[in-house]
C-alpha cells in the first residue's frame, strides 16, 4: 500500500473488515471442532492485541494533529463510523440493557435519550470542534469561552 494512509483508507478498512470476518469464522470452526473455550479466549485476546499493534505501527506519526484526528483528512463517513463505535461502546449497551432489565419499560426513555444525544453530538458539536481546531469538548469550551477550567 504505497502512498499516504488516508489515500488507502477504503482498502485498509476493507482488509480489516475481511480479516475480522475470517477470524470470527475461524473461531467458530475451532469451537465446532472441540477446541477448549480457554484456548479460543486466549487466541481472541492475542489477535486483538496484534491487530491494535499492527494498526498503530502502520499509522504511526510524530505530528499531534495526525495522531489525534488523522490530520483532519478522514472522510466524514469513516469519521462518523469511528465516532459511532466510540459512542456506542459495549459498556453502553450492557449498561442500557441492564437498566431496562432492572428498571422496566420506563427505562426505555434512557435509550431514546442516549440515541438522541448521539445525534445531537454529531450534528451540533462536531462541526465546531473542527472549526475551532479542537480535539475534545473541554478543549472546545476552553477555547470558545476562555480559561482552562473546562480542560482541568
Element (H, E) at 24: helix 9-32
Sign of CA dihedral 152, 127, 113, 144: positive
Task: Tell me the pLDDT tens digit for each residue of 50-84.
Answer: 988 887 787 777 777 777 777 777 777 777 777 77
Task: Tell me the pLDDT tens digit for each residue of 22-42.
Answer: 999 999 999 999 999 999 999
With 0.75 as the threshold, say if the pTM is over it.
no
Model pLDDT, residue 128: 78
Task: Tell me the pLDDT tens digit for each residue of 75-129.
Answer: 777 777 777 777 777 767 777 788 888 888 888 888 788 778 777 777 777 777 7
Mean pLDDT of the chain: 80
Element (H, E) at 100: helix 90-103
Other Cβ atoms within 10 Å of 6 Cβ, number? 15
Q: Measured at the alpha carbon of residue 137, what is the angle toward residues 134 and 143, in degrees to the nearest 5?
A: 55
Q: Where are the domains of the chain?
A: 1-60, 75-152
3-state SS class at 54: helix
Check if the beta carbon of residue 142 is closer than 8 Å to that of residue 150. Answer: yes
130 is written with which cell numbers? Answer: 473542527
- The residues near 146 (Cβ < 8 Å, ≥ 6 apart) are none
Amino acid at each position: 500500500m504505497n502512498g499516504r494512509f488516508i489515500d488507502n483508507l477504503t482498502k485498509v478498512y476493507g482488509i480489516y473488515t475481511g480479516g475480522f470476518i475470517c477470524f470470527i469464522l475461524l473461531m467458530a470452526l475451532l469451537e465446532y471442532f472441540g477446541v477448549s473455550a480457554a484456548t479460543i479466549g486466549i487466541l481472541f485476546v492475542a489477535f486483538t492485541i496484534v491487530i491494535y499493534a499492527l494498526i498503530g505501527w502502520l499509522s504511526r506519526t510524530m505530528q499531534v494533529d495526525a495522531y489525534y484526528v488523522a490530520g483532519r483528512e478522514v472522510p466524514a463517513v469513516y469519521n462518523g463510523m469511528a465516532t459511532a463505535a466510540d459512542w456506542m461502546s459495549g459498556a453502553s449497551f450492557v449498561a442500557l440493557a441492564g437498566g431496562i432489565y432492572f428498571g422496566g419499560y420506563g427505562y426505555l426513555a434512557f435509550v431514546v435519550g442516549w440515541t438522541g444525544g448521539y445525534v445531537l453530538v454529531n450534528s451540533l458539536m462536531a462541526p465546531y470542534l473542527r472549526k475551532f481546531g479542537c480535539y475534545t469538548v473541554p478543549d472546545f469550551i476552553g477555547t470558545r469561552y476562555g480559561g482552562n477550567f473546562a480542560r482541568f
